[in-house]
Amino acid sequence: MTEKKQRQYTAYGGQAVIEGVMMKGPDGKTAVVCRKSSGELVTDIRQTIPLQKKYPFLGLPILRGVVAFLESMIGGIKILSFSAELYGADEEESLSEWQMLLAVALSLLLGIGLFMILPTVLLRFLPLQQITHPFLRNLLEGVVRILFFLVYLTAVSQMKDIRRVFQYHGAEHKTIYCYEAKEELTVANVRRYSTLHPRCGTSFLFIVMVVASLFFSLFGWPNLWLRVLYRLSLMPIVAGFSYEILRFMGKIAGENPVLDILIRPGLWMQKLTTREPDDLQIEVAIKALQAVLPPEEVVIHV
C-alpha cells in the first residue's frame, strides 16, 4: 500500500467541519476551507500564537497535552461556527467569546458525564459480588465506557450530514498522509492513501479511555461519590498522558510491526469516524493544507 512508504513525522493536523476541512500548522497558522452550495471554495486563514510559545513551561510533557486539548476544543468550536454560518445552518451573528467558552464547557461536561461518570454510576446497579478486586472493577468500567463510545459513534454515523463530515475527515487524513510521504499534493496522489491516521483525535479518545481505567484503578473502588471525584480531578492528567502516548504512536507508526499492534485499536475505531471522500472533498483538504504550508513547500506541492 502507498501509505507503507517511509514518511516523515510532522506536526500538521486538522479537523473536518461542515462541508470543509481545517488544517493547522506547528506555528499556529490555521486554515479552514469550505465548499458552498454554489461550488465556490471559501478560505479563512488565521494566525495565532500557541500558548506553549507564549509560556514555554506549558510545553513540558503531560502539561502540553492538557493545553493542546483545551486549545483544540476552543478552536474547534470557533471553526465549526464559521463553517455552519457558510453552510447556512446559522444565520444569526457569530458566537461571542463567552458563548464560545460556554459551548466548550458544555461539550466537556457532556463528554465527561457520558463517557466518564455514567459508566461508573451504572456499575453501581450491576451485581458485582463476584468481582471484588478494584482493578477488575475499574477494567469492567473501562469496557463499559468503550462500548458507550462505540454505540455513540455508530449512532451518529447513520446521520446523512455526519457521514459527509466523516468523508471530509477521511480527506483530511489522506492529505496529511500524502504530504508526510513527500508526494505531490494532487487529488490522484491523495486518493491512494488511507483514511486511517495514527494521530487522529478518535485514537486520542480511545487512548484516554484506556489510560483512564489504569489511572482510576490506582485509587481502588471507593464509594460512588469518591469515584466521581477522582475521575473528575484526574481527567487533566489522563489527557496529558494520553497526548504523549498519541505523539509517540504517531512517530513509531509503520516502523515496528510489534509496536504497530498498539496502534491498531485506535485505527479500527476510526473506521466509524472516517469515510472514503470524493474528489471534490479531497480538493478541499488539499487547499486547506496548502494554506498552512511554508511558501517554499507550496510551490512543490501544487
68 pLDDT more than 90: no
Is 78 a member of any domain?
Answer: yes
Q: Which of 81-90, 257-266, 274-283 has the largest mean confidence? A: 274-283
What are 134-140's contacts with CB under 8 Å, separation 24+? 134/217, 134/220, 134/221, 135/217, 137/221, 138/213, 138/214, 138/216, 138/217, 138/221, 139/213, 139/217
Provide φ and ψ at 119, rounded to 5°.
-60, -40
255 pLDDT more than 80: no
Q: Which residues of 85-103 are buried (b: 16+ CB within 10 A; e: fewer)?
A: bbbeebeeeebeeeebeeb
Q: Quote the pLDDT of residue 184.
A: 94
Decide: pTM greater than 0.75. Answer: yes
Please report which confidence band the pLDDT of residue 90 belongs to, taking 50, 70 and 90 as the band edges. very low
Give the type of residue at 2: T
Residues in the chain: 302
Is 299 a member of any domain?
Answer: no
Among residues 281, 301, 302, the alpha carbon closest in space to that of 16 is found at: 281
4 pLDDT more than 50: no
Domain containing 79: what range?
2-293
Is 225 a member of any domain?
Answer: yes
Q: Quote the pLDDT of residue 88.
A: 61
167 pLDDT more than 50: yes
Whole-angstrom distance, CA of residue 116 vs CA of residue 114: 6
Q: What is the CA radius of gyration of the chain?
A: 20
Is 85 a member of any domain?
Answer: yes
Is 279 a member of any domain?
Answer: yes
Is 52 a member of any domain?
Answer: yes
Whole-angstrom distance, CA of residue 166 vs CA of residue 181: 23
Q: Quote the pLDDT of residue 301.
A: 47
Q: How many domains does the chain have?
A: 1
Is 40 a member of any domain?
Answer: yes
Q: Quote the pLDDT of residue 103.
A: 66
Is 15 a member of any domain?
Answer: yes
